[in-house]
């Protein structure tokens, strides 16, 4: 089923699937990659390329680029008076998808230890919110509770929430509880980069801290599911949480 005996053998087979495509790394051996590190592809003669198409040939039989005219389609859900914010979802620097692997590494968690909703400082000031204040984040499909964080990396009226935290670690399904099911009819790519949101302060009656060892994850999660908001943290075994 898996007739490989080394990383080099796996890599060599993968390289053959790239030959003749835009991602052509047929000239990049495993030894070279290990020795010099990442290079820009395509790599056909042992060295990287600054960018694609410097040879002015494109991936069509005649080598010419194709331009396709399309009709403009607006987003499936527009903001309104009740849902004035636009949602942008995406990745964080140190996490990968649902964190099934990266989420086990305390060092990676230290960059962004919990999911937050990033809002432009002017939107926070205009509404009298405070940094770290818990907010109810609502769409027409669901609601989650997150702390607010000021960020000038988003424009006024636009908010960002990372995609990584979900039902494995929270008391809800994370940002997927709010996203819209619309998708592009051609590529089938879901419209995860836009949804209309309403944000308002969350008045929760009480808080608690649950400390668990890795072996008690399932038991702790039962308690988490009963909470309006859960904030997962990860500490090294030698450290003491505060």
Measuring CA to CA, how many Å separate 123 from each of 11, 19, 27, 119, 127? 49, 50, 51, 7, 6
Cα separation, 160 vs 88, whole angstroms: 5
Beta strands per DSSP E along 82-195: 85-90, 117-119, 134-138, 143-150, 158-162
Confidence of residue 239 (pLDDT cuts 50, 70, 90): very low
Contact present, 59 and 21 (Cβ < 8 Å): yes
Contact present, 36 and 27 (Cβ < 8 Å): no
pLDDT at 151: 96
pLDDT at 137: 95
3-state secondary structure of 37: coil
pLDDT above 60 for 238? no
pLDDT tens by residue, 157-210:
999 999 887 766 666 678 888 999 999 888 898 888 899 999 999 988 777 666
Cα separation, 218 vs 176, whole angstroms: 22
pLDDT tens by residue, 11-70:
999 999 998 888 889 999 999 889 988 888 888 776 677 888 888 888 888 989 999 888
Beta carbons within 8 Å of 132's beta carbon, 6+ residues apart:
147, 148, 149
Contact present, 146 and 116 (Cβ < 8 Å): yes
> What's the topology of domain 85-202+209-224?
Barwin-like endoglucanases (2.40.40)
Average pLDDT over residues 91-99: 78
Q: Enumerate the H helices of 70-172 as residue ranges.
A: 106-109, 121-127
pLDDT at 225: 63
The rounded mean pLDDT for the chain is 83
Q: List the domain boundaries for the chain.
A: 1-59, 85-202+209-224
pTM exceeds 0.85 for this model: no
Do strands 117-119 and 134-138 pair parallel, antiparallel, or not at all (unpaired)?
A: unpaired
Contact present, 184 and 175 (Cβ < 8 Å): no
Contact present, 149 and 156 (Cβ < 8 Å): no
pLDDT above 60 for 235? no
pLDDT tens by residue, 124-170:
999 999 999 999 999 999 999 999 999 999 999 999 999 887 766 66
């Amino acid at each position: 089923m898996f007739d490989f005996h080394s990383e080099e053998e796996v890599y060599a087979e993968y390289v053959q699937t790239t030959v003749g495509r835009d991602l052509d790394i047929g000239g990049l051996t495993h030894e070279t990659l290990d020795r010099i590190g990442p290079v820009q592809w395509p790599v056909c003669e042992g060295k990287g390329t600054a960018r694609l198409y410097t040879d002015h040939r494109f991936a069509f039989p005649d080598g010419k680029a194709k331009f396709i005219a399309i009709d403009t389609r607006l987003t499936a859900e527009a903001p309104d008076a009740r849902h004035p914010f636009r949602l942008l979802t995406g990745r964080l620097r140190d996490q990968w998808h649902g964190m099934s692997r990266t989420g086990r590494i305390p060092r990676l968690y230290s960059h962004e230890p919990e999911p937050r909703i990033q809002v432009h400082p002017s939107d926070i000031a205009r509404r009298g919110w405070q940094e770290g204040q818990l907010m109810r984040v609502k769409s027409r499909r669901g609601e989650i509770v997150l702390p607010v964080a000021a960020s000038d990396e988003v424009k006024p009226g636009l908010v960002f929430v990372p995609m990584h935290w979900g039902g494995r670690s929270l008391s809800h399904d994370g940002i997927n509880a709010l996203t819209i099911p619309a998708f592009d009819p051609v590529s089938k790519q879901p419209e995860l980069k836009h949804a209309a949101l309403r944000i308002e302060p969350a008045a929760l009656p009480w808080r608690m801290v649950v400390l668990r060892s890795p072996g008690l994850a399932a038991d702790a999660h039962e308690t988490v599911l009963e909470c309006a908001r859960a904030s997962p943290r990860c500490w090294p075994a030698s450290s003491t949480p505060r």
